[in-house]
Amino acid sequence: MKIAITCGGTGGHMFPGIAVADELQKQGHDVRLILSGRGVESGAPERWHDKIIIVPAKTTGVRGKFKRVWRYLRLFLISTPIAYFKLLMFRPKAILAMGSYTSIAPIVAATALRIPRYLHESNVLPGSANRFASRFATKVFVAFDASMKYFKKGKCEVVGMPIREAISGIKWANPTNDFTITIMGGSQGSQSVNEKAVEAMKQLVAEGLNIKVIHIAGKANEEAVREMYPEGFPVELYGFTDKMPEIYSQTSLCISRAGAASCFELCTCGIPSIMIPLPREANDHQRYNAQAMEQWGASKMLLQDTLTSEQLANTVRELYEHRDILKKMSVCAFEHTANGVASRIIQNLI
């Protein structure tokens, strides 16, 4: 069976799409990824490079000032015919859209071609693209049950978030003596989170806490963060790394942004977390994700605009000293594991 998956725009959309595509391919289906040609998509695994359809799309969403919207609409008028003819050539039996503005043209084109259309919304608060595309959708999958109210009743199903196969099966490193704190600022890194996290880690080590730090700073911030840590500090520093399965397997506690992919990868591994949602992101969706994680008991949320390094250090210290709380958070996280999500989506597609 031929299936197209549009998952361009960001790693948070691309990697869940690839997780579904990998499972489909294992089952013998013919799959094509629809990407926008952005630089971030160069992270797609080599095995997919000859099975990619490029449909150009704007690098920002539909929201914003009039000029930005007009630029998007103008490109939409160009990209939709391209998507139409490329889908006509491939002739998929279904199309799955993982969200973001890059999915709109393929979904509209698939509607014209009468190809069944499936959407996946990864965040609690749906983005503008999926709200619009849902009007054309055959069915909508959501990662968080709190998203159900934003879509038409009877069209929506809670499935969770497809995750990379390499993450599946990793279990939380229940800390006894070694306590490893992993700091993740998102794929682009975060100067604010980096600075406050470094100061908090230095304070905790000065107090005598037996911790090791793994810090993923973002490519642009790597050297600046390296200079913040004193020589000999127990830190393993990366700008970007593809070693996430290995890192997750060592992590006792994670300090992270609240992108949907990160949320569900941490849940699948049962890793307790401190979420610092990216402020003023599209519709403030990371804050809604972090609130859901906190309500599940899997995470503690701290807001960047009011966060201090002392507050972050205090929160980490509390969890370091009260391992029973940490264990409860791990159990709550694992209750929302994303294992098997790709298969649930595929059952609907085929």
This prediction has a pTM of: 0.86
Q: Does residue 349 belong to any structural domain of this protein? A: no
Average pLDDT over residues 299-319: 96
Name the E strands within 230-290: 235-238, 253-256, 273-275
Q: Does residue 32 belong to any structural domain of this protein? A: yes
Q: Are residues 17 and 142 in the same domain?
A: yes
Count of structural domains within the chain = 2
Q: Are residues 232 and 323 in the same domain?
A: yes
Give the tens place of pLDDT for each residue, 1-21: 999 999 877 777 888 999 999
Q: Does residue 24 belong to any structural domain of this protein? A: yes
In angstroms, the CA 95 to CA 349 distance is 8
Q: Does residue 341 belong to any structural domain of this protein? A: no
Q: Are residues 129 and 252 in the same domain?
A: no
Q: Are residues 61 and 204 in the same domain?
A: no
User: Nearest Cα to 252, choosing from 165, 338, 327, 168?
Assistant: 327
Query: What torsion do the CA atoms of 45, 276, 157, 151 make, to the nearest 10 degrees?
Result: -110
For the chain, counts of helices (H) and of strands (E): 12, 13
The contacts of residue 217 (CB under 8 Å, 6+ apart) are 183, 185, 189, 194, 224, 225, 226, 237, 238, 239
Q: Are residues 126 and 232 in the same domain?
A: no
Q: Are residues 328 and 229 in the same domain?
A: yes
What b-and-e string marks burial along 207-218, b requiring 16 or more CB atoms within 10 Å of the CB? eebebbbbbbbb
Q: Are residues 108 and 144 in the same domain?
A: yes
Q: Does residue 105 belong to any structural domain of this protein? A: yes
Give the tens place of pLDDT for each residue, 230-248: 999 999 999 888 899 999 9
Q: Are residues 8 and 153 in the same domain?
A: yes
Range of the domain at 257: 180-334
Give the tens place of pLDDT for each residue, 190-210: 788 899 999 999 999 999 999
Q: Are residues 132 and 202 in the same domain?
A: no
Helices 323-334 and 285-296 sit at what angle, rounded to 10 degrees?
Answer: 110
Q: How far is CA 267 from CA 32, 57, 103, 252, 264, in A?
A: 29, 32, 27, 13, 5
CATH code: domain of residue 261: 3.40.50.2000
Confidence of residue 62 (pLDDT cuts 50, 70, 90): very low
Q: Does residue 39 belong to any structural domain of this protein? A: yes
Per the prediction, the chain carries an average pLDDT of: 89
Higher pLDDT among residues 253 and 78, named by residue: 253
Q: Are residues 21 and 138 in the same domain?
A: yes
Q: Are residues 144 and 208 in the same domain?
A: no
